[in-house]
């Protein structure tokens, strides 16, 4: 990524917009990520994506082994422009990819036996939280490959939460832990990744970014 090109593109943004992008990037993380497995209701996938953006989680992984999804733009509220969406045709492929990248696989489950509750969960290494379908929960593939299990205690008659609500609760709790950690965890984006996102976000904002880039490269000749 060419730093001068990024700076040139950003010169067409307002000063307040450049500052906003910078502030948001400082709070972005890939240390925590979310994977959604075959969630049937389209609006729930879009709502989880929106929560990822709101809480500063850069990546969302969508498994479409049974149910293929398009983004519900009304629910996502533009979040799809600012997060990185990764799609998989199987849970196995998603798990293998995340493990290769160094993530621990954490399965959410209503069971409480030998599981972490949300308040107890230690986010001390790169973590991928898996959310299952509303009807069936997570697949056996995820459960047998999970490194840890996470549950949200429920104290009412209704012992279930909508998957998008579950995702928002988890994201709020774990990103708060990351930001307040005394262990100095490397949760922020790398400088290389920040530069890449600055470029991509500038392109999202500038409708004429291709023309601007072409003129830039002409001037560099």
Give exposure, 42-51, as e/b (b: 16+ Cβ within 10 Å): eebbbbbbbb
Co-location of 194 and 88 in the same domain: no
CATH of the domain at 78: 3.40.1280.10
Same structural domain for residues 178 and 195?
no
Q: So what's the pLDDT on residue 76?
A: 44
Q: Which of 3, 2, 9, 8 is nearest to 205 (CA)?
A: 9
Do 170 and 205 belong together in one domain?
no
- Residue ranges for the chain with pLDDT beneath 50: 71-77
- Domain containing 80 equals 28-185
Q: How far is CA 195 from CA 10, 132, 172, in A?
A: 11, 33, 26
Together in a domain, 205 and 148: no
- Please give the DSSP secondary-structure letter assigned to residue 147: S
Two tokens at 5?
Answer: 């090109």
Residue 39 in any domain: the answer is yes
How many whole angstroms separate alpha carbon 160 and alpha carbon 157? Answer: 9
- Regarding whether 194 and 124 lie in a shared domain, the answer is no
Model confidence pLDDT, tens digit, residues 147-159: 999 998 887 877 6
In a domain, 1, yes or no: no
Helix count (H) and strand count (E) of the chain?
Answer: 9, 7
Task: Check whether residue 89 and residue 164 sit in a common domain.
Answer: yes
pLDDT of residue 78: 65
Looking at the fold, whether 181 and 194 belong to one and the same domain comes out as: no
Q: pLDDT, tens digit, for every residue of 123-145?
A: 999 999 999 876 778 999 999 99
Name the pTM for this structure: 0.90
Total structural domains within the chain: 2
Residues 91, 157, single domain; the answer is yes
Domain assignment present for 4 = no
- 109-120 pLDDT, tens digit per residue, is 887 677 899 999
Q: Which residue matches tokens 């994506």?
A: 49
- Residue whose structure tokens are 């299990």: 149
User: Is 209 inside any structural domain?
Assistant: yes
Together in a domain, 95 and 51: yes
Q: Which helix (H) or strand (E) holds 34?
A: strand 32-37
Query: Could you tell me if 53 and 149 lie in one domain?
Result: yes
- What's the pLDDT at 6? 96
């Amino acid at each position: 990524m060419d730093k001068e090109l990024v700076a040139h593109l950003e010169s067409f943004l307002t000063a307040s917009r450049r500052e906003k992008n910078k502030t948001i990037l400082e709070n972005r993380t890939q240390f925590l990520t979310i994977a959604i497995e075959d969630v049937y209701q389209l609006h729930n996938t879009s709502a989880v994506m929106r929560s990822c953006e709101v809480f500063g989680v850069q990546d969302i992984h969508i498994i479409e082994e049974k149910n293929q999804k398009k983004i519900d733009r009304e629910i996502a509220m533009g979040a799809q422009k600012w997060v990185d969406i990764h799609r998989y045709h199987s849970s196995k492929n998603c798990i293998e990819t995340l493990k290769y990248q160094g993530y621990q696989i954490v399965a959410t489950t209503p069971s409480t036996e030998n599981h972490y509750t949300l308040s107890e969960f230690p986010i001390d290494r790169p973590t991928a939280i898996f959310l299952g379908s509303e009807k069936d929960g997570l697949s056996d593939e995820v459960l047998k490959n999970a490194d840890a299990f996470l549950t949200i205690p429920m104290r009412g008659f209704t012992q279930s939460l909508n998957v998008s609500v579950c995702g928002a609760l988890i994201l709020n709790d774990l990103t708060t832990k990351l930001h307040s950690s005394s262990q100095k965890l490397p949760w922020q984006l790398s400088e290389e990744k920040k530069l890449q996102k600055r470029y991509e976000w500038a392109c999202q904002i500038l409708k004429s970014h291709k023309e601007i880039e072409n003129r830039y490269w002409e001037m560099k000749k």
